[in-house]
Amino acid sequence: MTRSGSSPLHAYRGALVDFVADPHDQGDAACRFIDDGVLLVRDGRVERRGRADEVLPALPPGTEVTDHRGKLILPGFIDTHIHYAQTDMIGSYGEQLLAWLENYTFPTERAFDDPVHAREVARFFIKELLRNGTTTAMVFATVHRVSVDAIFEAAAAENLCLVAGKVMMDRNCPDFLRDSPASSYEDGVALIEQWHGKGRLHYAVTPRFAPTSTEEQLRVAQRLLDEHPGTFFQSHVAENPQEVGWVAELFPWSRSYLDVYDRFALLRERAVFAHCIHLDERDRERLAASGAAASFCATSNLFLGSGLFDPQRAADVGMRVGIGTDVGAGTSFSMLRTLDESYKVAQMGGHRLSPLRAFYLATLGGARSLYLDDSIGNFDPGKYADFVVLDPAATPLLERRMAHTEALADRLFLLMTLGDDRAVAATYIGGRRAHDRGALSA
Ligand code: GUN
Ligand code: ZN
C-alpha cells in the first residue's frame, strides 16, 4: 500500500493515443498523443496520463512499470452493435437481410433457450472481444431470458462494461422465437432488476426491428424505458431496401421507417440504431436532434449487400455515431478490420474517413453514443483503465510498411488498413491484463 486505504499505483509506458470530445461529432476529433507516455492506474481507474520524463521520476519507489514501448496504447475499442448468439453463424453464404434472417439467424438463435449452450457461446464471445481489443460492447442476446443471463455472467467474470438486452419479437418470426407484449414486459422488468447497474453492466430494451414487433410491443418497449430511467435501447433501422418497403406496408401511417420508432418515443438518449443506411435528410436531422446514435456497421452492410452508410452526412447533421461489427452479419470481431471497411465505404460515397476520426469513432465516439463517456472512451483521470496495446510491427508487412512511416495519423491508418487481431498485443480491463497475445502464442 502506498497510501493508507488505496491500492498501489501501476504505470504503463508506451505511446499514448486518445481523443477529446468533439461536441458536435464533426470533423477530426482532437487527438492527444504522447510519444513516450505513461498511464498511471490506481484501483482500476486512470489516475494520470503524462510524459514519461515527467511522470516516472515522481513515482513512489517500487511502483511497478509495465513497458509497452514501441507500441501504441489506446482506449479500448467500443463495439456499438453486435449479436453474441450469431457467433457460430458468421460467414453464412448467399443471402440478403430477410432471407438471411429466415435461413440462418432464426435457426441459430433457437438454441439459446439452453443455458448450457448460451453460457459456452457467451464465454467464447467475450474472449473474442478481448482478443480484438474490444473492452465494451452493446450486445443483442436472443429472445430467451437465459441468453441474457449468460452474456451478463460472462462479461461480469471479466469485469467488462457491457450493454445487453433480451430480443423482443412478437410477430413475423417462427413460433419458437416468439414472445408476447406481456411476456416481454415481465421478462424485461425481471432482467432490468437483476442486471441493470450491477457492476459495469447495463440493460438495453431490445425490440429486434420494427417488422417483428406489433405496435403493442413497441409501446411495451417505451414503457420499460420510461419506467426504468437510465436503461438503454437498441434496434435496427433502414438496413435493406426490401425491409424498408415491408415496414411501409406494416405501418402505413408512418412517414418513414425511423418515424415508426419515433411514434413510440424510442428516439432518445442512450438509444442506438444499427445501420441507418436508407434514411432521408429529415430522418437524419431527427435522429441527431433526439440524442440517439447510429451504429456504422460496414462489414455487415457490405456482406449482406445492404448499402452504404454515409458517415459524412451523419457528421454534417451532428449525429452521434459509433462503430459496430454486427457479427454475425458482420464478418469480423476486429474493430481494426471494421475501420478498414468503413474507410472504403466512405470512399464509395466520395468522402475520406480520416484515421484520427476513425479511431475517435471506435473509442470516444462509441462512448458518447452510449452516454458512457463519463467513465470510458479516453484517458481522462477517473475513467476506467480499459485499454488496448497495438503492435505496429505485428506482421511482417505491417513492420515493413511502418518502417518508413513517422506521423501518428499514418501509423494509425496502416493499423486500420493492415491490422487485425494479430495487432492487438494486449487488452486491459480496469488495469488488469485480460488478453495477452504473447502468452497465447508462447
Ligand atoms: N435486422 C433484424 N435483425 C437483424 C440481425 O440479426 N442482423 C442484422 N444485420 N439485421 C437485422
Ligand atoms: Zn444487428
Give pLDDT tens digits for 70-93: 999 999 999 999 999 999 999 999
Which has the closest alpha carbon to 433: 60, 33, 64? 64
Task: Find out whether the beta carbon of 329 lies less than 6 Å from any atom of ligand 1.
Answer: yes
The secondary structure of residue 32, as a DSSP letter, is E
Q: What is the mean pLDDT of residues 318-333?
A: 98
All 3 cell numbers of residue 245?
Answer: 418497403
Ligand 1 neighbourhood includes 100 CB (under 6 angstroms): no
Q: Residue 24: how many CB atoms within 10 A of its CB?
A: 12
208 lines ligand 1 (CB under 6 A): yes
Edge-first strand order for the sheet with 45-51 is 45-51, 30-42, 10-20, 64-75, 387-390, 424-429, 432-436
Mutating to test ligand 1, I would choose from 82, 83, 237 the residue with most ligand atoms within 8 A of its C-beta, which is 83
What's the pLDDT score for residue 25? 58
Ligand 1 center from residue 235 Cα (angstroms): 9
**HSE (side-chain half, CA atoms, 13 Å) at 165:** 27
What is the band of 24 on the pLDDT scale with cuts at 50, 70, 90?
A: low
| Most ligand 1 atoms within 8 A of CB, residue of 105, 142, 143 to mutate | 105
Cβ contact 307:278 at 8 Å: yes
Its pTM stands at 0.97
Q: What is residue 6's predicted lDDT score, i.e. its pLDDT?
A: 64
Residues 7, 43 contacting (CB under 8 angstroms): yes
The rounded distance, in Å, linking the Cα atoms of 88 and 84 is 9
Q: Which ligand is nearest to the CA of 243?
A: 1
With bands split at pLDDT 50, 70 and 90, how would you rate the model's confidence at 440? Answer: low
Measured between alpha carbons, how far is residue 140 from residues 235, 272, 369, 414 in Å?
9, 12, 16, 31
Mean pLDDT of 297-301: 98
**Res 374: pLDDT:** 98
Query: If DSSP codes are grouped into helix, strand and coil, which group holds residue 233?
Result: strand
Cα gap 220→296, rounded to integer Å: 27
Q: CB of 236 closer than 6 A to ligand 1?
A: yes
Region 244-254: mean pLDDT is: 98
Please, what is the average pLDDT of the chain?
96
Least confident of 22-31, 48-57, 92-101, 354-363: 22-31
Cβ(166) – ligand 1 distance below 6 Å: no
DSSP annotation of 29 reads: P
Residue with cell 514519461: 52
Question: What was the pLDDT predicted at 2?
Answer: 42
Average pLDDT of span 361-370: 98
* CB distance 63 to 36 below 8 Å: no
CB-based contacts of 430: which residues, under 8 Å, 6+ apart?
44, 45, 159, 384, 385, 386
CA 239 to centroid of ligand 2, rounded, Å:
9
Give the separation between CA 15 and CA 25, rounded to whole angstroms. Answer: 25
Ligand index nearest the alpha carbon of residue 239: 1
- Report the pLDDT averaged over residues 221-248: 98
Beta pairing class for 45-51 and 30-42: antiparallel
* Rounded Cα–Cα distance for residues 268 and 254 (Å): 18
Q: What is the pLDDT of residue 73?
A: 98
C-alpha cell recorded at residue 344: 472504403
Check if 81 has its Cβ closer than 6 Å to any atom of ligand 1.
no
Q: Name the amino acid, one letter, at 97.
A: L
| Predicted confidence band of residue 4 (pLDDT cuts 50, 70, 90) | very low
Residue 378 CA, ligand 2 centroid: distance in Å: 26
Q: What is the pLDDT of residue 439?
A: 81
CA distance 285 to 421: 36
Predicted confidence (pLDDT) at residue 124 exceeds the cutoff of 80: yes
Mean pLDDT of 186-197: 98
Query: What stretches of 208-313 adopt beta strand conformation (E)?
Result: 232-237, 271-275, 293-296
pLDDT at 398 over 90: yes
Kindly tell me if the per-residue pLDDT of 442 is higher than 50.
no
Contact 165, 179 (CB under 8 A): no
Could you tell me what percent of the chain has a pLDDT over 70? 96
Contact 80, 272 (CB under 8 A): yes
Q: Is 212 close to ligand 1, i.e. is its CB under 6 Å away?
A: no
Q: Give the pLDDT score at 80.
A: 99
CA of 255 to the centre of ligand 2 (A): 23
Q: Residue 7: which pLDDT band, with cuts at 50, 70 and 90?
A: confident
- Rounded Cα distance between 36 and 372, Å, is 28
237 strand-pairing partners: 275
The answer, yes or no, to whether residue 233 has pLDDT greater than 60, is yes
**What is the number of the ligand 1 atom nearest to the C-alpha of 297?**
9
- pLDDT of residue 12 exceeding 80: yes
